[in-house]
Structure 1
Amino acid sequence: MGFGIIVFLAVIIGVLGSPGVTSRPEAAASADVSAHPNSVPETPEIFGQEKVLVLEEVEEDVMMTGELNPNQYPAQRAAKVVQHYLNTCYGSPYRVIGLNRVHSGNAQDVTDSGRKFQLEISVQDFISNKTEKCSAEVFFPSGGQQRSPQVHASCEELPKINTQAQEEALYQKYKTNQSRLSAELPDSFGHIDPDMEPLWHLGTVASSFIMLNESTENTLYNMAQVANITQLATENEQLKFDYHILLHEMVSQEIIHWKLLFTWSPPAGVKVLQMEQLPHSHHHEPLNTR
């Protein structure tokens, strides 16, 4: 079975008000959307007000073991899990790591226990735009009960990006914030104020804890929106936040609501206290902080 034809999907983008566009980390990740379950779109190109996605329709029988096609879903989904893992290890309001490219991949069945992926990928810090090639291993446990994938990754340079000064300034700003911030990112006009971008980045990093925990071989997650963010009273020198996050599961096309209670400080990083999946009709209320 050979490769199919190239499919062009043209999406007309309505422009209201100012032509300025707010750049967000998930904007790059949104290129992962595919109409065909085995296809991965190329990076979108913008021509005036028309956005054209070029999709490559591929074979139905995707190779699941042995050497993998880097552009097909087994390698891509495993690589996205590595992205979420790296964010849980190194992410901050000024360091958000995303998948740039899958160079090669190999998968093997581990007898009666799951499937292991060996990957060579490039990841990118969306804020500094620095890119690094990394080696990674992802193990998806088998069995009916949902268990988080196990990840090991070797990336030497990205964790060394120095964001200490910016993080300390942000920490001091919100540590002395008596009004205890409450906001929606982006707002109803799709805009994120530059002063609020670090909190959007913080939500992206914190949501990686959920996406890493929930990922399987058959999922592909991105954060779609911070529907609400509330700053809670600071405890033990840690800033404390209650986020209502919308995740986009790209395979099923579901938008899934989560509440996420976590703390952050420059020395300790993000520490998740509670994760709770919500019904679609949920109206946000702060998490019980007992």
Structure 2
Amino acid sequence: MSLRIIVALAVLTGVTGSPGVTIRPVADSADSAHPNSVPETVEETEIFGQQIQLFEEEEAEEDVMATGELNPKHYPAQRAAKVVQHYLNTRYGSPYRVFGLQRVHSGNAEDVADSRRKYQLEISVQEMIGNTTENCSAEVLFARGEQQRSAQVQASCEALLKIDTKAQEEAFYQQCKMNQSLQSAQYLPDSYGHIEPDMKPLWHLGIVASSFIMLNESTENTLYNMAQVANVTQLPTENDQLKFDYHILLHEMVSQEIIHWKLLFTWSPAEGVKVLQMEQLPHCHDCEKPPNTN
């Protein structure tokens, strides 16, 4: 039985300019027919101001997991590699350092003890704001079965982690701390895919914080991207940590579901992002659809 799924790889950022969506259906061909095929380049798979690709998949055996050497272009390798991106953001991300998956070069999967599955990957990771790319080795362990456990990740990307953003982070921190009025914003990006320059650090901070959710929720059968910051409010704080309340929209691209989350977290240059609360919000049938998620 044939299953036709429309997968729109979403959304946007203002890191490299005003983002937008280009809908370009893939013609039927031998190259596009595999059920696990994904676009090859970061321009077609990432959300950081790049072109977005809309493509079709046909086949009922999409969820069959391969063992051994993986095709880097297919979903099993891509999904595992995307988890590495979320891991790097949770460990090293900031308003001026955001990591994105650029390309999977090779991958291998095997079943291991305790009903887990291990992926070994060679990938390219890009620090999106500074536009610096490095090849990284990574290992991802997924739990299997009914009990939901976060994936365990190890990654070696030494050069990317040496990027110095301390000056920019300290300036943003002092600006937020000294402002008489607390910062707030809605709809990053807006319905035209635009983000004001002074709001970009809040957008980047939302991407980093949302990676905590996506890392926690990711399985072998999911593929998450950050879609939009619906609302962000800076909250009063009594210590050196800035405190933020975010309403974030995530795009789960396998199910095509837009998922609303509430995030309460703190940030400072010294301590990084510390999540205090993650709460999935009820599905809102009447909510306005976020921009350019189609």
Q: Is TM (by shorter chain) over 0.5?
A: yes
Residue 79 of structure 2 corresponds to which residue in structure 1?
Answer: 77
* TM-score for both structures, normalised by structure 2: 0.80
CA distance in 1, matches of 2:284, 2:37: 31
Residue 111 of structure 1 corresponds to which residue in structure 2?
Answer: 113
CA distance in 2, matches of 1:41, 1:98: 15
CA distance in 2, matches of 1:121, 1:30: 26
CA distance in 1, matches of 2:22, 2:38: 11
Residues 116 and 52 of structure 1: CA distance in aligned 2, closer, same or farther (over 3 Å): closer
Conserved in 2, the CA contact under 8 Å of 1:148 and 1:212? Answer: yes
- Report the CA distance between 1:222 and its aligned residue: 0.3
3-state DSSP of counterpart to 2:237: strand
3-state DSSP of counterpart to 2:260: strand
Conserved in 2, the CA contact under 8 Å of 1:37 and 1:251? Answer: no
Does residue 142 of the first structure (1) align with residue 144 of the second (2)?
yes
Residue 214 of structure 1 corresponds to which residue in structure 2?
Answer: 217
Does residue 41 of the first structure (1) align with residue 39 of the second (2)?
yes
Aligned AA for 2:38?
V
Does residue 223 of the first structure (1) align with residue 223 of the second (2)?
no
Residues 282 and 272 of structure 1: CA distance in aligned 2, closer, same or farther (over 3 Å): farther
- Report the CA distance between 1:27 and its aligned residue: 6.0
- Report the CA distance between 1:281 and its aligned residue: 1.9
Structure 2: gaps (5+ residues): 1-5, 27-31, 45-50, 288-294
Q: 2:261 aligns with which of 249, 258, 278?
A: 258
- Report the CA distance between 1:52 and its aligned residue: 8.8
Aligned AA for 1:232?
L
Aligned AA for 2:236?
A
Spell out, residue by residue over 1:178-235, the C-alpha distance to the aligned partner (whole angstroms, 9 max, x if none).
2112211123443210011011000000000000000000000000000000000023
Bigger RCO (CA 8 Å, 6+ sep): 2
CA distance in 2, matches of 1:139, 1:252: 23
Aligned AA for 1:264?
W
Identity of aligned residues (%): 74
Residue 248 of structure 2 corresponds to which residue in structure 1?
Answer: 245
Aligned AA for 2:39?
P
Residue 6 of structure 1 corresponds to which residue in structure 2?
Answer: none
Residue 91 of structure 2 corresponds to which residue in structure 1?
Answer: 89
RMSD between superposed Cα atoms in Å: 3.2
Aligned AA for 1:139?
L
CA distance in 2, matches of 1:147, 1:29: 34
CA distance in 1, matches of 2:229, 2:212: 15
Residues 160 and 190 of structure 1: CA distance in aligned 2, closer, same or farther (over 3 Å): same
Aligned AA for 2:242?
L
Conserved in 2, the CA contact under 8 Å of 1:78 and 1:217? Answer: yes
CA distance in 2, matches of 1:123, 1:29: 22
Aligned AA for 1:165?
A
The number of equivalent residue pairs is 260
CA distance in 1, matches of 2:20, 2:100: 8
- Report the CA distance between 1:113 and its aligned residue: 1.9
Q: 2:67 aligns with which of 62, 65, 68?
A: 65
- Report the CA distance between 1:112 and its aligned residue: 4.2
Conserved in 1, the CA contact under 8 Å of 2:35 and 2:57? Answer: no
Q: Which is worse superposed, 168-177 or 103-112? A: 103-112
Q: Which is worse superposed, 108-117 or 153-162? A: 108-117
Spell out, residue by residue over 1:45-100, the C-alpha distance to the aligned partner (whole angstroms, 9 max, x if none).
8xxxxx89485969857661100000000000000000000001110000000001
